[in-house]
Structure 1
Amino acid sequence: MKTVLVLSILLCAAFAAPAEEQQKAPEEAPKEEMAAAPEMEDMMKKDEEVSVPVDSVPEAAAPESRFNFCPDGWFSYNSRCFKFVNSATSWYSAEEHCNSLGAHLASATNPREYSFLQQMTQTAGQSFAWLGGFNLQGRWMWIDREGFYYTNWYSQSSTSSYPCIYLRSTTGWSNSQCSSAHRFICSKNPFNC
């Protein structure tokens, strides 16, 4: 229930953010507002020259172009920061490494997010990467406590022998032994203290 509430708040904030940044175009502004000092007009013209209409930015890049609160080397997608670590290790070691960065192994909560993670993996020249999914007592979960509502299985093996999820860069995810060595993707919320 707590996760649903937090997710609802994040969605509301995400939808509200673009509306807050919209401004009236100079031609739509009342005439009394147009009587700005000459230096203000110059600044406004410079802003017009540099700004890019939101419609011309590809959908996947739009969140990055508006705000980027992620540390260097991290990529922003929706309200989270992601980092691909190009070092093969076990699932447990990957999670420990992510923890040392203030993060967890990434969860994929919807098809667009999974596609973004696949693109990150492909860009790094890899075919597989650990995600934060694991099976505990017959139930799939995300290590970052996101709800496991979206699934995208390419193949699923025995959960008792293969309890950890890895991403496939061209298809859905699969599960493997946690001791296998894969590269991995970390994820964190930039607003967590």
Structure 2
Amino acid sequence: MKRFCALLVVLGVATPLVLARCPDSFHGLSGSCFHFVTSGRWNWATAREECKKLGADLAVLNSPEKLTYVSDFMNRHLGEGGSTFFWVGGHNLKGFWTWVNGDRMNVNSNVWVPETPSKTTEPSYALLSPPRTQGRRYMADINSRIPGFICEI
């Protein structure tokens, strides 16, 4: 076994094997681990608190590819839970949209539902729309109670 592990380290494959392991209830997608909550009534802050209890944070879907991976998984595996809105880790504070990891959100991207987000300085938060709302895209909300959220490690 020691030789096998040493070979993996020499070949540089030990890191991907470690990263591919996700905690129970998390799903490995696009190099990250995601946990999907599909019931309850959560505002953005309480959803984020729940993610932190799991050692995670709200999902940072900061590329079209990552959004596609997560959307495809949701469409295939969540059944009725896939037809709801989900909080993700984007937020607008003082007119600047950022992810919870500090990355800027591209508000001019086609991954937003048309006409969103509005140019407001009021705090607002990103949610992922169900497929029936012009595909899975981001929408802005002032902090409603939403039945789903996505955590990411």
Counterpart of 2:128 in structure 1: which amino acid? Answer: L
**Given the two structures, how large is their TM-score scaled by the length of structure 2?**
0.71
Worse-superposed segment, 119-128 or 72-81: 119-128
Instruction: Work out which of the residue numbers 140, 148, 151 in structure 2 matches 1:183.
Output: 148
Q: Distance in 1 between matches of 2:147 and 2:140?
A: 12
Asked if structure 1 preserves the Cα contact closer than 8 Å seen for 2:58 and 2:150, the reply is yes
Contact residue 91 and residue 125 of structure 2 kept, 8 A: yes
2:94 equivalent in structure 1: 137
Shift of 1:147: 4.2
Aligned counterparts of 1:130 and 1:120: Cα–Cα separation in 2: 16
1:83 deviates by 0.6
Give the AA of the match of 1:112: E
Greater percentage in helix:
1
CA distance in structure 1 between the partners assigned to 2:102 and 2:152 by the alignment: 12
Structure 2 residue 47 is matched with structure 1 residue 91: no
Name the CA distance, whole Å, in 2 between partners of 1:75 and 1:166. Answer: 20
Q: Look up the match of 1:11.
A: none
The whole-number CA distance in structure 1 between the counterparts of 2:19 and 2:98 is 30
Distance 1:67 1:95 in 2: 22
Write the distance in 2 (CA, Å) between the matches of 1:67 and 1:180: 33
Q: Alignment RMSD, CA only?
A: 2.7
Rounded to whole Å, the distance in 2 between the matches of 1:181 and 1:78 is 25
Q: Evaluate the alpha carbon distance shift between residue 78 and residue 177 of structure 1 in structure 2; reply closer, same or farther with a 3 A threshold.
A: same
TM-score relative to the length of structure 1: 0.57
What's the % identity of the aligned pairs? 29
3-state SS of paired residue (2:38) = strand
Quick one: which of 104, 115, 118 aligns to 2:71?
118
| One-letter code aligned to 1:93 | T
1:146-175: CA deviation from partner (whole Å, max 9, x where unpaired): 443584211314434561111123222111
Higher CA-based Rg: 1
- The match for 1:73 is 25
In the alignment, which residue of structure 2 is the partner of 1:51?
none
> For residue 72 of structure 1, what is the amino acid of its counterpart?
D
SS of 2:92's equivalent? strand
Letter of the 1:163 counterpart: S
* 1:79-133 Cα distance to aligned partner (Å, 9 max, x none): 3211101223111110010011111110111111101222343332223211110
Aligned pair 1:105/2:58, yes or no?
A: yes
Q: Specify every segment of 5 or more residues in structure 2 that has no aligned partner in the other structure, as ranges.
A: 1-8
Query: Whole-Å Cα distance in 1 between the matches of residues 73 and 57 of structure 2?
Result: 16
Q: Displacement, 1:184?
A: 0.4
